[in-house]
Amino acid sequence: MKKTATLLADGRELIYYDAHGDAVRDAVDLRPLDPITTRSEIRHDPLLDEDVAIASHRQGRTYHPPADECPLCPSRGGRRSEIPAPDYDVVVFENRFPSLAGESGRCEVVCFTSDHDASFADLSVERAALVLDVWADRTAELAQLPAVEQVFCFENRGREIGVTLGHPHGQIYGYPFVTPRTRRMLDSVAAHRERTGRNLFDDVLAEELAHGERVVLDGEHWTAFVPYAAHWPYEVHLYPKRRVPDLTELDDAAHKEFPQVYLELLQRFDRIFGEGEPSTPYIAAWHQAPFSAADRRDFALHLELFTIRRTSGKLKFLAGSESGMNVFINDVPPEAAAERLREVAKK
C-alpha cells in the first residue's frame, strides 16, 4: 500500500491510498475555496449521561446532487471535485461538513472506488483488502490526536438510510469521548468477568458456534451470525475468531480472509429480498475499543451489519418504543433471518 498525503484548497487533509507503489499523486486542488472554519460543540445530557454533538453548519451540506456533479468522483473533463486526481483507488479526506471538528474530534470521508455506480459489494478482493488497510491505518493515525478517544469506521448505504451522496463511500469518526453504546458493552464485559471469570465476547461467539442455528458464515478466521436478540430485521455480527481490541491488531491470516467473507456477506444482503428489488440499504459499523479504557483488551473488535428493510418493499421505521424508550421490537425472528441469509449463498 502506498500512502500520499496532500491538502485541499481550503486546507483540509486528503490522503490517497494506492494498492501499488508506482502510483503518482501530484494533482493540485484548484478550486477557489475559503478556509474551513466550521466548529462543532459537544453538550452533555445529565439525565442519560450521554454526549451530543451540535453541528448547525451541516444544514448546508451537499444533498443528492446529480451524478455528473458528484463531489466524490474524480476531477475529470474540467469539472473539479473533492478529489483533484483523474482517478484513484481509495481516498480519505476531512469532511467538509463535519459532525465533529477541532477539539471536538474529527470526521473523515472514505471513498472506496472512483466508480460512481459501484458499491462495496462490487469491489475486487484486492480493493476490499486495501480498504481494510485504510481503516486500520486511519485508526492508528487518529489514535495520535489528543482530541480523539474512540474511532468509528462505518458505511451507510441507500437513500432509505439517509445517505445524501450516492457514490460508494464510508466515514470515520474520531470521537472525543467513549460512545454510550461502547460504554454499555464495556460495563457488561466487566460485570461478566467479575461474575464468571471469563470474557463475555468470547462466550457469546462460542455459544453461537455451538448452537449453529444463527450462524450465517463460518470461515477459518471469521464468523458471521445473527445475534440471539437482534434489534433489526436482518442484522449480522462479524467477529474475528481471535479476539483483538481494534483493527490495527488483526493478524495476517484474519486480514487475508476478511475480503472474501465480507464481500460474500454484502452480496447476500443484496440477494435476500429477491430479484427486481433495489440494492438493500444498510449500515455497516465497526466497533473498536476506546484508546484509554483500562479494560480495552477485554473488548472484541467486531462489525455489525444491518438493514432497515424488513421485507420486500417495506421498511422498519423506529416507532415509539424504539425511539422513545430504546426498546426494539423485531418482526423477523433471528433464526429465520439467519436461514434466509444462508439460503442466498453463492451456489
Cα separation values, 143 from 93, 95, 98, 334, Å: 16, 18, 18, 35
How far apart CA 245 and CA 296 sit, in angstroms, is 6
Give me the torsion for CA of 98, 100, 102, 104, rounded to 10°.
170
Residue 169 designated active-site: yes
All 3 cell numbers of residue 273? 429480498
83: nearest Cα among 143, 134, 9: 9
Name the pairing type of β-strands 234-240 and 222-225: antiparallel
Active-site position among 44, 116, 167, 169: 169
Q: CA-CA distance, 200 to 173, in Å (whole number)? A: 26
Closest by CA to 293, choosing from 150, 135, 176, is 150
Task: Name the pairing type of β-strands 309-311 and 302-307.
Answer: unpaired
Instruction: State the pairing for strand pair 314-315/50-54.
Output: unpaired
Size (the chain), residues: 347
Distance in angstroms (rounded) separating the CA atoms of residues 1 and 21: 7
- Is the Cβ–Cβ distance between 19 and 124 less than 8 Å? no
Inter-helix orientation angle 200-211/180-196, to 10°: 80
- Residues with active-site annotation: 169
